[in-house]
Amino acid sequence: MKIAVCQYNPIIGDLKGNKDKILNGYNLAVNNKADLVVLPELFLCGYPPLDLVEKKEFRSAVKLAAEEIASDTIEVGLLFGSITETFEDNIGTNVYNSALLCFDGKIQFVQHKTLIPNYDVFDEVRYFEPAKNISVFEFKGKKLGISICEDIWNDADYWKHLRYPVDPIKKLYDDGAEILINISASPYAYGKRIERFKMLSKLTSDDKLPLVYACGVGAQTELIFDGASMCFDKDGQLCILGKKYEEDYFVFDTNKNYESIKNVEGNFAEEVTAALILGLRDYARKTGFKQALIGLSGGIDSAIVAYLAVKAFGKENVHVVMMPSKYSSEGSIEDSEKLIENLGISSDKISIQEVVDKTLEMLSESFYGKEEDVTEENLQSRVRGMYLMALSNKHGYLLCTTGNKSEIATGYATLYGDMCGALAVIGDVYKTQIYQIAQYINKEKEIIPSEIIEKAPSAELRPNQTDQDSLPPYDLLDSILKMYLEEQKEYSEIAKKIGNESLVKKVLRLVDINEFKRKQAAPVLRVSTKAFGYGRRFPIIQGWSFLR
């Protein structure tokens, strides 16, 4: 069977645009004499649709669009993801995450998703009911085993611990499926593509069945979908790997012999840089922003964000602002100017000192009797935030925040200051990983000035300040944070590994007490298994963390 995979990029709620993409892909495949055309999970409405699913008017419009798509089909099959709704009983939502198989002008078969995830960034239990039945469908002389995303992630032969008591793929296999097709919208995190490859290779080699795994691509606010759709033969060999981080179209012939593909994922810096560029570009494109704005400090974080913005927007559409205070070193200004020249972007230099001095003068009576502390430092950051927001409002710039994951985790980002902005571009990248990305960017020529990479990190809010004045070295800090945030290790486990109980207690306390800041922060582009945002739901008011 010749199966065309349309690895396309939808927009949530854009039914007309998504419908056009489906039909354009279908018509292309018909011209290529394909037997079946496949698009990813919930493609018609976009994934994840969240509370749009609860709107009756939206569900009705999705149903109508699906019927219109089906009416344009001929004998060539078309399989795509959509919301469906039934009225079988008064229990549950009666709404399903479904795969629709259309041909000869009608929706001929519907397979609902069986395993409804409810962990990390997934909240599908809130909206969808699980399938009551799993069945194969015979099409053009072949029995198709159709499943949706999570349905294929519960193979007892691969996983040591299963999330669900049901294995939909085993049921399809037992019922005589000859070709497996899984439509997916699986959010990317570094390392996940290798995991997919290993799992799917094991499954197909065990079951001796070919598999089409059609992945979504693009970014939807925080979530990045990397594409890289995979087609396997019955021996578990990867035959076709779709493009990464961009749309793709290809035809998989189950009767053809392909050269086996082994390399599916690059190194951390390569993959994450590409993912962040896609995330930033799609956020801007799908929300209507044409230009980006970054506050440039002379440090490595803002330099990396400026580079990513150039790749996402084009250098002519990126503007940066240097906002020195009396504590800003000449080196920081010179380093920023060198970066600006390397990137070919426009810039302004606006001193904050006069505004800071005047504000402190006006507050002097209210501050009487109080020693100088972090308040005065934060005021500088907040003046910068005010400048940036004003420029964003006036010119329509997308303001990108520049805080990394280490800073956001420990509260080293000022609320209403450097946290101002619409999108936290590197908010899921630890400080040590930022340096890896800088080296990757500079692999062919120096783009990020070496002076920026080599200088000691500093907020430059007081004389001779460095981050390590009050934080442990970043390699040690990031090790603690990764164990706590991503590996879900307990305090005692981390303390034993690090060998310094008081330090671990201090770092974990910083993470927990700064939850209130993160609740007010810009969305964070997700590139790890546990990013800040709605994938990590931690209470602001709680007493457990302070019992250590």
Question: Which residues are known catalytic residues?
Answer: 41, 113, 149
Contact 352/384 with Cβ under 8 angstroms? yes
Residues across the chain: 548
Residue 424 pairs with which residues in a beta bridge? 401, 524
Q: How many CA atoms lie within 13 A of 69 on its CB side?
A: 35
The backbone region for 229, taken as left when phi is positive above 0, alpha when psi lies in -120 to 50, beta otherwise, is beta
User: How many whole angstroms separate alpha carbon 533 and alpha carbon 520?
Assistant: 10
The residues near 519 (Cβ < 8 Å, ≥ 6 apart) are 540
* Residues 436, 535: Cα–Cα separation, whole Å: 25
Coil/strand/helix, residue 6 = strand
Residue partners of 517: CB distance under 8 A and separation at least 6:
408, 411, 413, 415, 419
Q: Number of C-alpha atoms within 13 angstroms, CB side, residue 427?
A: 30
Q: What is the Cα–Cα distance from 406 to 434, expressed in whole angstroms?
A: 10
CA–CA distance, 318 with 320 (Å, rounded to integer): 7
Burial of 124 (0-12, 13-18, 19+ CB in 10 A): buried
> β-strand 318-322 against 346-349: which pairing, if any?
parallel
Cis peptide before 48 (omega within 30 of 0): yes
Residue ranges of E strands in 169-243:
179-184, 211-215, 217-220, 223-226, 230-232, 238-241
Q: Taking Cα atoms as reference points, which of 76, 104, 169 lies closest to residue 131?
A: 169
Closest CA to 302 of 418, 446, 150: 418
Tell me phi and psi for residue 254, to 5 degrees.
-65, -15
Nearest to 384 by CA among 403, 368, 367, 371: 403
Q: How far apart are CA 502 and CA 525, in angstroms?
A: 32
